[in-house]
Amino acid sequence: MMKIEAIETAYYRLPLEPMGDAGHGAIDSEEIITVKVRAGGVEGHGYAYTIGRGGRAVHALLEHDLAPLLAGRDATDIEALWQLMWQRLLYVGRGGLAAFAIAAIDIALWDLRGLRDKKPLYVLLGARAKEIRAYGSGVDLPKPLDGLLKQTEGFLARGLPGVKVKIGKADPRDDETRVAAVRKLIGDEVDLMLDANMAWSAQEALERARRLEEFNLYWYEEPTIPEDVAGHARLVRELSVPIAVGESLHSPHEFQRYVDERAAAVVQIDPVTNGGITASLRALDMANAAGLKASSHYTDELSAHLLCAAANAVYLEKHAFALDRYLEEPQRVVKGRVRPTETPGTGMRFAEGALAPYRIL
Ligand SMILES: [Mg+2]
């Protein structure tokens, strides 16, 4: 028994270099909502992020609904607390913003468990430490071609064995020009992923992909909206390039549909958007059982642990919103690969001094 004594939250708004994609439009800031859960004299740290919208609502759900719900309860039974939070927010939740709020607490509870047991997260997950290949990922749809190529050169200079490019320009020829130029620059040895950020109908996504398949693609990410599971299943059947989804799936139930309908080849976990480490783990269990590949979305530091629990982890995403300058110990990439941290818990700590100027609530 570790009785939850206090839950502390904060809300920050971090400026980003302006970027964007086909589904979410222009992005110029990131919101960070931090949670500290204190129990048994130990303090577990968790967080959620947004792409600049909705973060105040996530913070409000934490302050007004989840923190009072958890006060005085046993922090050690994480799965039961996840279920309790899910049930409490069911009417307004079943995913969406509620998943982000649940995630922030769930991450703190896993961190707390690691601190209590003096074990790093991957050990708590029953996994062994693995080296995982990392790919460079831009949020680069608005970048002119020379900027896109400069970014790609940066990824190559860091020794990353894969790069991802956003697609979804109004004129399909613009996507072709950009993808062709990146493929030419990186050569045949570096993997190339494409991300459409749900820009198209399934039919249009199919036609767009046909024009790009010749560039030997590693995966085709979020070709259409997450609600269209049948459309994704059709793309899996009709295209040779593997379909990747996960960042917009906000519950284990949503992953279940994709796995049951064979609507994805690569499951991309994100312990914030999926609804917590608990939820991402369930998604990985499904991927493992179905023989699917696993990768991650953003959440570089947590995902390095989680992907150790995947039977077939192909890549970790090194995301454009790198939090490095706000972390006590930024993730290290060595020869294009990452490893989970060895300190107890998640190993992820925000540098309070670096975050402080951006605190709003
Ligand atoms: Mg994506």
For residue 79, the domain's CATH number is 3.30.390.10
DSSP state of 71: T
HSE toward the beta carbon, residue 145, CA cutoff 13 A:
13
Report how far Cα 288 is from the mean position of its chain's Cα atoms: 18
Distance CA 221, CA 165 (A): 10
Q: Locate 146 and state its tokens.
A: 């020379």
Q: How confident is the model at residue 326 (pLDDT cuts 50, 70, 90)?
A: very high
Distance CA 142, CA 140 (A): 6
Alpha-carbon distances, residue 18 vs 21, 52, 347 (angstroms):
11, 12, 29
DSSP state of 66: I
Q: How far is the CA of 247 from the centre of ligand 1 (A)?
A: 7
How many structural domains does the chain have? 2
Q: How far is the CA of 71 from the centre of ligand 1 (A)?
A: 35
Q: How confident is the model at residue 178 (pLDDT cuts 50, 70, 90)?
A: very high
Q: Which residue among the candidates 59, 232, 293, 297 is catalytic per the annotation?
A: 297
Q: How confident is the model at residue 197 (pLDDT cuts 50, 70, 90)?
A: very high
93 and 135 within one domain: no
Q: How far is the CA of 298 from the centre of ligand 1 (A)?
A: 9
103 and 246 within one domain: no
Domain, as residue range, for 230:
123-338
The amino acid at residue 3 is K
211 and 67 within one domain: no
Q: How confident is the model at residue 182 (pLDDT cuts 50, 70, 90)?
A: very high
Q: Is the dihedral of CA 279, 280, 281, 287 positive or negative?
A: positive
pTM over 0.85: yes
Q: Is-contact 271 279, C-beta < 8 A?
A: yes
Q: How far is the CA of 245 from the centre of ligand 1 (A)?
A: 8
Q: How far is the CA of 113 from the centre of ligand 1 (A)?
A: 30
In a domain, 347, yes or no: no
316 and 191 within one domain: yes
280 and 154 within one domain: yes
Phi-psi region of 134 (alpha: psi -120 to 50; beta: other; left: phi over 0): beta
| Annotation says 119 is catalytic | no
Q: What angle do CA 298, 350, 152 make, to 5 degrees?
A: 35
Task: Look at the chain and count its residues.
Answer: 361
Q: Which residue among the candidates 45, 143, 166, 318 is catalytic per the annotation?
A: 166
pLDDT of residue 273: 98
In a domain, 343, yes or no: no
In a domain, 73, yes or no: yes
Q: What is the rounded average pLDDT for all residues in the chain?
A: 97
| Annotation says 166 is catalytic | yes
Residue 44: name the closest of 121, 129, 123 by CA: 121
Residue 223: name the closest of 187, 175, 287 by CA: 175
DSSP state of 22: T
CATH code of 187's domain: 3.20.20.120
Q: How far is the CA of 249 from the centre of ligand 1 (A)?
A: 11
**Mean pLDDT, rounded, for 61-75:** 98
